[in-house]
Amino acid sequence: MAGGVPGAPTPVPAIPDVYAVVYVHTSSHGPPPSPVHYALGAWTPSWSPAQHAEAVQAVREAIGRGDVYQANVVGHASAPYEGDPTAALHRVAGLPGARYGGVLAGEGWALATASPETLVEVRDGRVITRPIKGTRPATAQGRRELLASAKERAEHVMIVDLERNDLARLPGLGPVTVDELFAVRRWADLWQAESVVSAPILGRLDLADLLRAVCPGGSVTGAPKLAALAEIARLEPAGRGVSMGAVGWVGHDHLDLGLTIRTVAADGHRLHAWAGGGITWDSDPAAEVAEAAAKAAPIRAALSCQTPVAG
């Protein structure tokens, strides 16, 4: 974000910051791919659960000082692999509940996303964003807990307000409305709370201005956004790289970009994954560590295989 404090360097420098693919639709389909060797090793985190908990506590202290209202802290982990991870990456992309599920590859790198979250969409004369904040296990009890949690709702509303402000700063847009608030939807084995924020396009809307206004997404930064980015840069030991960015489609009359949460990157030697959550004054460090692990679990399961690899 313009004016934001740079964070730690990306652990996957081989992946470019911007990558565009021009698609030409054809009716031809090649034969199915043949099975190939693939094996995954043990995951190595960039911080321990204790260090993650310390970062959560540090955000709580920053909130107590009045530096931020909320900040999102994200952990990174990587694992060595052998062979071709393409099939495993497609398993990630196929996780249920992924609004943006797909695999993108370049020379020496690949990424897979199973993101449920819309960073920004332009459709039928409106700009739309769908922030997600608030997570529980996808059980009947988990759904009841999420709907009843004052902490989760307060955290969620803060991000909705942030997204409203991001859109309201853009010339060419009309009144910003919250079309849906705290709707509970399922991703893999988790319930998540989602809202829909939108505004009509009434004048000229520049794509670069739109991306500057919404990137990075408020649900993965915090509020105020610039102050939250400073906390993130101070606390996170590994960069977010392709995670927490955007992937999607740009057409002549349509834009649809998903926030690259639930995303895996491959660099030819290791797989990289990120998970975290938003921290408020009421956050419990141990619970936040557990929530990040719950978000990472379906991704790791999709990537797993039977043959071990030495770390």
pLDDT in tens, the chain (311 residues): 556 788 899 999 888 877 777 655 555 445 545 567 899 999 999 999 999 999 999 999 999 999 999 999 999 999 999 999 999 999 999 999 999 999 999 999 999 999 999 999 999 999 999 999 999 999 999 999 999 999 899 999 999 999 999 999 999 999 999 999 999 999 999 999 999 999 999 999 999 999 999 999 999 999 999 999 999 999 999 999 899 999 999 888 889 999 999 999 999 999 999 999 999 999 999 999 999 999 999 999 999 974 444 44
- CATH class given for the domain over 43-309: alpha beta
Pairing of the two strands 109-115 and 222-223: unpaired
CA nearest neighbour of 241 among 225, 226, 257, 263: 263
As a residue count, the chain comes to 311
Name the token pair of 117. 């979250």
The residues annotated as belonging to the active site are 117, 133
Alpha helices per DSSP H over 22-130? 49-65, 86-93
pLDDT recorded at residue 4: 79
Tens digit of pLDDT for each residue in 246-269? 999 988 888 999 999 999 999 999
pLDDT recorded at residue 246: 94
Q: Other C-beta atoms within 10 Å of 129: how many?
A: 27
The pTM for the full model equals: 0.89
Q: Residues near 191 by Cβ (< 8 Å), separated by ≥ 6? A: 135, 136, 137, 138, 142, 143, 146, 184, 185
> How distant, in Å, are the alpha carbons of 141, 142, 143, 189, 295 from that of 137?
8, 5, 8, 6, 10
pLDDT recorded at residue 17: 79
List, in sequence order, every beta strand (DSSP E) within the chain.
38-41, 44-45, 70-83, 100-106, 109-115, 118-123, 126-130, 132-137, 177-187, 190-200, 222-223, 246-250, 255-259, 263-266, 270-279, 308-309
CA nearest neighbour of 243 among 202, 292, 197: 292
- Identify whether the C-beta of residue 242 lies closer than 8 Å to the C-beta of residue 12: yes
Q: How far apart are CA 280 and CA 270, in angstroms?
A: 33
Domain ranges of the chain: 43-309
> How distant, in Å, are the alpha carbons of 48, 110, 179, 225, 245 from that of 239?
16, 17, 34, 17, 12
Q: How far apart are CA 180 and CA 81, in angstroms?
A: 42
- In one-letter notation, the amino acid at residue 5 is V
pLDDT recorded at residue 310: 44
